């Protein structure tokens, strides 16, 4: 894994590119517009600068990491990558389209990975002619801080592919890698999303205030943050997309998104990233 490609330079993509670059790997980030490319570069630079300011990274190491990052608008620039990690929005058709194009561009032995949080990986693997070399690799936000990576093998993923990605995540990036089956939600979101939806329903019904719901789970269960604060941190649009994917897969009532969550996303109240969610951050 000497050369890594990252498709998408948003919050997750920029974070993935950063941890790869700091681990000594050359990274090429693909974006669709110059303004998005500039924003991706700025995200990486800002995050690395925070690490220097906090004393977690020396200036020389920071400069070396930034020198390993290239941002491009040309998918052909990913042709020589050993591993390409897709971090596009949680839209199945978009991911499948990206994988179909990557399959035609990257070298034959390259591994294609999706950072999806809930979409079954086989859905995007089938858009390629190399499903045995497609795997899920789910990072958590913020990527430079969160220690976990879920590695998701489909029924077609070869053991060698899963082993190579697991080795890269653990030995090179220093993450804790856990193995998950190819079911919507995998391990973490399969347990987390129903919990978050239950908190939204409790608040929506007027059973308790948002402050008391969050305080209850922090003080009563020892959680570092309450579920509604966590929704705001994850992004309400991300939580909704994960819930919709899981509900489509399993049809379980507790996985169905509450109307309030849908209306908040419709209103653009997505949490911290927009300044307003269950709480006001402006």
Domain definitions of the chain by residue range: 3-181, 189-274
Among 242, 223, 225, 239, smallest CA distance to 271 is for 239
Mean pLDDT score, 166-174: 97
What's the predicted TM-score (pTM) here?
A: 0.90
Annotated catalytic residue 189: yes
Contact residues for 195 (Cβ-Cβ < 8 A; gap 6+): 227
Where is pLDDT greater, at 263 or 89? 263
Is the pLDDT at 21 greater than 90? The verdict is yes
Q: The CATH number of 189-274 is which of 1.20.210.10, 1.10.1040.10, 3.40.50.10950, 1.10.150.20?
A: 1.10.1040.10
Please tell me which residue in 47, 115, 117, 245 is annotated as part of the active site: 117
Please tell me which residue in 153, 184, 189, 245 is annotated as part of the active site: 189
Please tell me which residue in 18, 31, 90, 150 is annotated as part of the active site: 150
Token code pair at residue 15: 């974070």
- pLDDT interval class at 1 (50, 70, 90): confident
What is each CA distance from 252 to 20, 116, 121, 205, 247, in whole angstroms? Answer: 37, 21, 20, 20, 6
Annotated catalytic residue 117: yes
For 3-181, CATH gives 3.40.50.720
Please tell me which residue in 90, 115, 118, 138 is annotated as part of the active site: 138
pLDDT tens-digit readout, 2-17: 999 999 999 999 999 9
pLDDT tens-digit readout, 215-264: 999 999 999 999 999 999 989 999 999 999 999 999 999 999 999 999 99
What is each CA distance from 141 to 14, 147, 154, 250, in whole angstroms? Answer: 11, 10, 23, 25
Mean pLDDT score, 17-24: 97
Annotated catalytic residue 269: no
Tell me the C-alpha distance between 163 and 151, whole Å: 9
Task: Round the average pLDDT of the chain to a whole number and report it.
Answer: 96
Q: What is the pLDDT of residue 107?
A: 96
């Amino acid at each position: 894994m000497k050369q890594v490609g990252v498709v998408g330079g948003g919050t997750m993509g920029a974070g993935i590119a950063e941890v790869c670059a700091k681990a000594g790997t050359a990274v090429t980030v693909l974006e669709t517009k110059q303004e998005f490319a500039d924003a991706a570069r700025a995200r990486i630079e800002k995050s690395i600068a925070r690490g220097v300011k906090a004393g977690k990274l020396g200036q020389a190491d920071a400069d070396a990491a930034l020198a390993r990052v290239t941002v491009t608008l040309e998918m052909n620039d990913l042709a020589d990558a050993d591993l390409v990690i897709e971090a596009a929005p949680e839209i199945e058709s978009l991911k499948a389209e990206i994988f179909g194009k990557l399959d035609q561009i990257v070298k034959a032995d390259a591994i294609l990975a999706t950072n999806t949080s809930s979409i079954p990986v086989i859905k995007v693997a089938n858009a390629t002619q190399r499903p045995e070399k497609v795997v899920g690799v789910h990072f958590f936000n913020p990527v430079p801080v969160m220690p976990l990576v879920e590695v998701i093998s489909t029924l077609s993923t070869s053991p060698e592919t899963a082993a190579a990605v697991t080795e890269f995540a653990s030995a090179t990036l220093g993450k804790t890698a856990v193995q998950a089956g190819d079911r919507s939600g995998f391990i973490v979101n399969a347990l987390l999303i129903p919990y978050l939806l239950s908190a939204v329903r409790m608040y929506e019904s007027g059973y308790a205030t948002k402050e008391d719901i969050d305080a209850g789970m922090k003080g009563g269960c020892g959680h570092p943050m309450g579920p509604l604060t966590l929704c705001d941190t994850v992004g309400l649009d991300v939580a909704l997309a994960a819930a919709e994917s899981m509900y489509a897969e399993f049809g379980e009532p507790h996985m169905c998104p509450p109307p309030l969550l849908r209306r908040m996303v419709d209103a653009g109240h997505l949490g911290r990233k927009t300044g307003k969610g269950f709480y006001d951050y402006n």
